Amino acid sequence: MQIDQVKDRFSQVEQCINNAAQTCEQSGDAPDQLRNFLAELEHESHHTRELVDQTQDDGEIRQCVDKMAKIGDRALQVFGGGNYVDDQLQVAVRQARKAISALKQTLH
């Protein structure tokens, strides 16, 4: 995949992650564990953006996207742990995880 395509797709991933984080902030009753995972996901997203902008190495980018996918998986597990998470927040987190997954499949 061309680096320009990766940048475009990664921009979509960033938008979904930002949307999930904003939705979490607006939710007064989001579990702390979910807040932490989304903060970690935002941090990794920023790190990955730097790599995407600075390198042509798909391997490094792939590793970061894999890490983001694992964080997204852990965030999704919060929903099944008996924690109440409102529907809007669940949808936002699932969309972010789906976008990460799509990028991951494209890179592999």
Q: Which of 80, 64, 63, 74 is nearest to 97 (CA)?
A: 74
pLDDT tens across 2-39, in order? 777 888 889 999 999 999 999 999 988 889 999 999 99
Mean pLDDT over the full length of the chain: 90
Fill in the DSSP letter of residue 55: -
What's the pTM value of the predicted model, to 2 decimals?
Answer: 0.90
- Pull the structure tokens for residue 32: 């702390």
Domain boundaries, the chain: 3-107
CATH topology of domain 3-107: Four Helix Bundle (Hemerythrin (Met), subunit A) (1.20.120)
